[in-house]
Amino acid sequence: MVGAGISTPSGIPDFRSPGSGLYSNLQQYNIPYPEAIFELEFFFHNPKPFFTLAKELYPGNYRPNATHYFLRLLHDKGLLLRLYTQNIDGLERGEPLFPLHVTSADVMADRVPCCPVCTGIVKPDIVFFGEPLPQRFLLHVVDFPMADLLLILGTSLEVEPFASLSEAVGSSVPRLLINRDLVGPFTWRPRRRDVAQLGDVIHSVERLVELLGWTEEMQDLVQRETGKLDGRDR
Ligand code: APR
């Protein structure tokens, strides 16, 4: 389970960190309250604040960090049953969310992207507040009871129904929280086998990779993937 805290080392602000979080820096967008920028009703009423923010955070301008590569290593080793992410930066997938050819010119030119056929506003493929979660989210009903370890990285566990997934694993299943601070059930309903590695996510992930004896594999993966990104950006 991951959140915006895994992307701050890539240069993308999270939402709630005091001072640096996005919700502390939206004054320029003239919105009634911070979360409005991600609310479906507000988006269709006034899409401008969202697309102004999207220009600032446009996919392709940021690169994955060690945390994203650690998740990829878990996948490559057949250890990752599923990744549940709240993030819209696409860094876990290494691909942008917007169909770049359709929206980038408009977004970069401070225009609201509209469909060339029906002229409706182009809504990005992210889940807004007030919008149903994608069907695949229901996989959690099968996934979490099957899990024999739950990793939670870089999230405040503030938003439901995502946050409650942290308690959906069996009571004897170890839960490892890697985060700057203790959050959610780790504070008010801790379990016997909980482990919390608090502090910077990169430092914590690199320490975990070292303990697993995967440091060399990780370095090879980062080198390989960074080379591909350098090639793409040329
Ligand atoms: N190292 C460790 N922890 C970090 C780091 C870092 N470099 N950077 C941030 N964090 C921690 C913060 O301390 C915080 O606990 O990551 C967490 C990020 O929490 P939020 O900013 O609330 O982000 P997130 O949990 O992803 O928010 C969930 O809220 O408003 C919605 O749509 C929004 O998807 C978002 C959802």
Task: Name residues whose C-beta falls within 8 Å of residue 173's C-beta, 6 or more positions apart in sequence.
Answer: 147, 148, 149, 150, 193
pLDDT in tens, 29-62: 889 999 999 999 999 999 999 999 888 887 677 9
Q: Please tell me which residue in 75, 101, 140, 203 is annotated as part of the active site.
A: 101
Task: State if residue 159 touches ligand 1 by the CB under 6 angstroms criterion.
Answer: yes
Average pLDDT for 190-204: 98
Active site residue 101: yes
pLDDT digits (tens, 9 = 90+) for 209-228: 999 999 999 999 999 999 98
Whose C-alpha lies nearest to ligand 1, atom 5? 5
Return the percentage of the chain with pLDDT > 70, whole number. 95
The pLDDT tens digits for 79-138 are 999 999 999 888 988 655 565 555 788 998 999 999 989 999 999 888 999 999 999 999
Q: What is the rounded CA–CA span in Å between residue 77 and residue 167?
A: 25
Cβ of 14 below 6 Å from ligand 1: yes
Candidate from 39, 159, 181 with most ligand 1 atoms within 8 A of CB, to mutate: 159
Please name the residue that has the structure tokens 């938003």.
Answer: 159
Is ligand 1 within 6 A of the CB of residue 17? yes
Give pLDDT, residue 57.
81
Helices (H), the chain: 40-45, 48-56, 66-76, 100-108, 140-146, 185-188, 201-212, 215-233
**Whole-number Å distance between alpha carbons of 84 and 89:** 14
Report pTM: 0.93
Confidence (pLDDT) at 27: 84
Nearest ligand 1 atom to the CA of 9 is 7
Residue nearest to atom 35 of ligand 1 (CA): 86
